[in-house]
Structure 1
Amino acid sequence: MIGEYGAAAILSALLAAFGSAFVRGLTGFGMAILLVPILALALPPVAAVLLANFLSVFIGLSEIRRLLRGAERSAWIIIALVAVTTPAGLYLLSITTPDIARVVIALIAVSAFFAILLPRRGALDHRPATTGAVGVMSGLMTGYAGMPGPPVVPYYVGRDIPREVAKASMMLIFTCASSVGLASGAAMGVLDWHLGLLALLLFPAVLLGNWLGDRASGRIEDRTWRTCVGLVLGGAALAALWKAFA
């Protein structure tokens, strides 16, 4: 698997892993949304999603004690629903042509950050039905695009809860969602275990980026961060669309 790609592709993946992990450390989300569209330029979409899942599990396990201690109880309800619905999303991805899958992944990434770039709203109504809908949608997006974040982020960021509680809840969900994604891929026979070796190669960049992002958390103005991430994500989405239609 690793030998199939040149030095330029590996270097691009390392930079993407570092940058997306920095965003994760800074905000508690955004790693898969940024990383999967870029990885999908060099890898088949299924491989890109599963590689991002490996990296998410690795970084989540490195800080699992903090996540378990700080996460809100609602995170476990969402995790249970993600476990049930992720296989359906991965199955849809496996029967979709690569070009169409790349377009869908790019559009999911763009839609997620359109929501983040909009002005903040007041606390959302978080009834059991809302929590259930977030869990189902997050599972489908985990399987199809390796991105559990689009439904989860507004659920926690839009509420009046401590920032660290929101971050820990989101990170715990993303770690468990990625674990379910890997298990589903193995059960369906689409998981290439060589991706684990590639993930190990990229993991030091993820660790460093996440550490630096966590240190910088709270020091960067929110508007500046949103603008920078929007530009990076937009470029990745345009590149994915170009590859799909080229």
Structure 2
Amino acid sequence: MFGFEPQAVIVALLAAVAAGFVRGLAGFGLSVVLVPVLQLAIEPTAAVLIGLISLFLIGLTDVGRIRRHADRSAIPITLLALACMPLGLWALTALPPAWARVLIALVSLGAFVLVVVPLGRITLPRHPAMALSGFFTGFFGGFAGMPGPGMAPFYLRGRLEPSAARASMMAIFLVVTPLSAAFFVALGVGGLSEVELAAALFPAVLLGDWFGHKAFGRVTPRQWQVATAVVLGGAALGALWKLVA
């Protein structure tokens, strides 16, 4: 089925619904949930490509929200991410699959730690913070198909309203993910099977995303931040537990 084992497709469908819900609620997190689970059933490179395509497809449904609410910080972060993405892709293809699986799970865990661990009064000025966010957004996008962990600390710890932070992350995904996916395919990292499976998963992602958007309108900014951190931690710990098991 789509060139993958039936059980892998079933796992992908279940993960797609959960990942779509997270993305609708938080504005990011689709690939943070989808890729670590999916890469336990298929090759990490295939899981990353499917995650990137899924992010782009769902991003097309949010153009209106992006235009209304996105912050201008999304522009420099996007440009830096595009410049740094090839470095992440090189790391993904250079590492053995076993190591790639472990490091992809650790990316999720690292995002959780950066979001929830108190940093006291130590903060970076806005421009260096954006530069670091752009670098890690691009690197994690290329290496793990997860641009979100690179930008999440900047937007979740910043002073933007949740609607603006959420739309800004969606804007970055919408630009970075199709170019990253095209770069993957051009280099022979994945192909038609991954594109077909990502397209088949889109209705499941869309369903979860719809429920996530509904939930977003019913939570306070603090509840939004807590829910996002819990999702990051749960996805990371689940992926690490399955690797150990």
Work out whether residues 52 and 146 of structure 1, in 8 Å CA contact, stay in contact via their aligned partners in 2: yes
Partner of 1:25: 24
Q: CA deviation at 1:240?
A: 3.1
Work out whether residues 85 and 141 of structure 2, in 8 Å CA contact, stay in contact via their aligned partners in 1: yes
Take 1:174 and 1:115, find their aligned partners in 2: how far apart are those partners? 20
Partner of 1:158: 157
Q: How many residues of Structure 1 are paired with residues of Structure 2 in the alignment? A: 241
Work out whether residues 123 and 158 of structure 1, in 8 Å CA contact, stay in contact via their aligned partners in 2: no
Q: Cα 1:216–1:120, aligned 2, differ >3 Å: closer, same or farther?
A: farther
Unpaired segments of 5 or more residues in structure 2?
none
1:236 lines up with 2:239 in the alignment? yes
1:15 lines up with 2:18 in the alignment? no
Unpaired segments of 5 or more residues in structure 1?
none
Partner of 1:94: 93
Q: CA deviation at 1:11?
A: 1.8
Take 1:64 and 1:122, find their aligned partners in 2: how far apart are those partners? 35
- TM-score with structure 1 setting the length: 0.89
Aligned-CA RMSD value: 2.1
Take 1:164 and 1:123, find their aligned partners in 2: how far apart are those partners? 25
| Residues 218-242 of structure 1: per-residue CA shift (max 9 Å, x gap) | 5354546644653343112221344
Q: Cα 1:121–1:191, aligned 2, differ >3 Å: closer, same or farther?
A: farther
Q: CA deviation at 1:177?
A: 2.0
1:177 lines up with 2:180 in the alignment? no
| Residues 61-114 of structure 1: per-residue CA shift (max 9 Å, x gap) | 122232133211110111111111111211111111000000000111111112
Work out whether residues 124 and 158 of structure 1, in 8 Å CA contact, stay in contact via their aligned partners in 2: no
Take 1:166 and 1:206, find their aligned partners in 2: how far apart are those partners? 21
Take 2:83 and 2:179, find their aligned partners in 1: how far apart are those partners? 9
Q: CA deviation at 1:57?
A: 0.3
Q: Cα 1:52–1:121, aligned 2, differ >3 Å: closer, same or farther?
A: farther
Take 2:228 and 2:80, find their aligned partners in 1: how far apart are those partners? 31
Work out whether residues 85 and 136 of structure 1, in 8 Å CA contact, stay in contact via their aligned partners in 2: yes
**Identity fraction in percent:** 39
